[in-house]
Structure 1
């Protein structure tokens, strides 16, 4: 029986790997081992509960105020010990977190093949986003097995001399998760139900990237101007746990009665809020893939994106963090119905909801068949 180890530990990884872990666990020919680094503690626990997934190893590495250097050191020690004990046939990592890089590197040191889910995303600027871009590039150098969401991602890998035989375009597993959760009955708190029922156009705001901290004031001023200029617009802002983001948000927009600052939402609730908003302003990566699946336009408050397929398809618009540009582009979508339809009615370029099954099928066909480096 094939033994496949999945290593992840953040909320976004949990959302996108949950369909893969479920598919692995349901296959009678696979022994699935899930190592939870708990790089995010409470936020990931919510996701695992939502998808009814239990870890085989919980490394409990969440530590308040820890540096990336400290996290990396602790990860390499603990993940290596688990790999040494379990001797998996393949280690799966996802995306671009510190857990992703260390999981891949620890497997490499023990000559265990690595599969990279969500491979080939690039901004080609190693400091944007930081440290995610360099993590994904490093993992591509280590991995043998590359699951690319789109053909653009595959082309990125081919340009970096990754063998085409070891790249499989599968779509993004986040769409698998999105469609599963969106079909469930909404369980939003009454407070949120009441906000969404006002009849106003709701903008969902999410901002958390490290590289955007210095630009937050500009974004907040833009949000304030948008609400002031439109009586029929309101904003919901689930504030990240980062104390710097929280303090600045309270100072800049905390007193506006049409801007609702709320605690971070559980994933299921967040999906049902997304289903009911008019547009989204974000610096998140995953939302750029999820929102188009629900027909919601996205303004990306970053200077770069590793998801250019959404920009090219027309579901995303890259607006940076300039106050004036954010106001201009938001007003365009609020007032111009044709502009709104051009973004909201485009087919999602990031997948159709069958990515996890494609990944597992490909693993079963190819592990031990010569494509992967043997242990």
Structure 2
């Protein structure tokens, strides 16, 4: 049965086009993907991300238990700091990519992808040594407020001094009178906040943000704009660009894997071995230089031979070019390397470029 976020009625009232996403009834767009994308790049957009999962570790040993499960190092964080990390299998492939929040050494919250929530929780439960995780997903709704005018909008609704919250930092406080976790994080490449609140408060918070943001040109945004925004930043999407068949090093995410972390992490030894032996393939960003838009699953060809496939692709609304990502042999991964994308039976030329595609 398709699940609904606490904002489902609000989306329908705004005329959103709804689709099934990871078993959730979610808005793909309200007006147009391009208009919503441009609102986030130039003003401010609101996203319902309440479908995301939240898994909590509490009590003595919470930090140590959670830290052994993730690739990044929470012990090097301050309280009130978040970090991007992987959950990896023993081969170094992705179980999921997550954001971990350190409230204190005795309270860690890990935010996981909606499509992986049950799998991730079972995986953590089986491997947690010490503190057992608790699935808190039904206790949180989440609204992302993203764009150059996001901070000013949220600031007008909260007594919390947002200038004191740096990127990947968070605080607890009230927004529009509603108790929230206020996190300076996002998936768009723009400044902004992700606001976590109780599900029963979500609609009031959403409406307050929409009302207060009218003068800023706020737009509600769907999954379509979320995807085009993150693709322009070369932010990986689980199930497309990262999965259990590709390692964190191949995905270019070695920077979130602290191989020298005390206590290590699951998958560490496989990554250390791969690093020593050298990579055979890498995830690259490319621009299509011919006519056509690369889409997920399209073959990548070199001299007519298949060498990979598109993991994500779109016509970038901000970069105004057809762009994509895909895994290619390491010899084709350097900037300026060329190959073809097979688009509807045609071999269309493409070139590897420096990412992110979108630079302010």
Normalised by the length of structure 2, the TM-score is 0.28
TM-score (norm 1): 0.27
Higher strand fraction: Structure 1 or Structure 2? 2
| Between structures 1 and 2, the one with greater helix share | 1
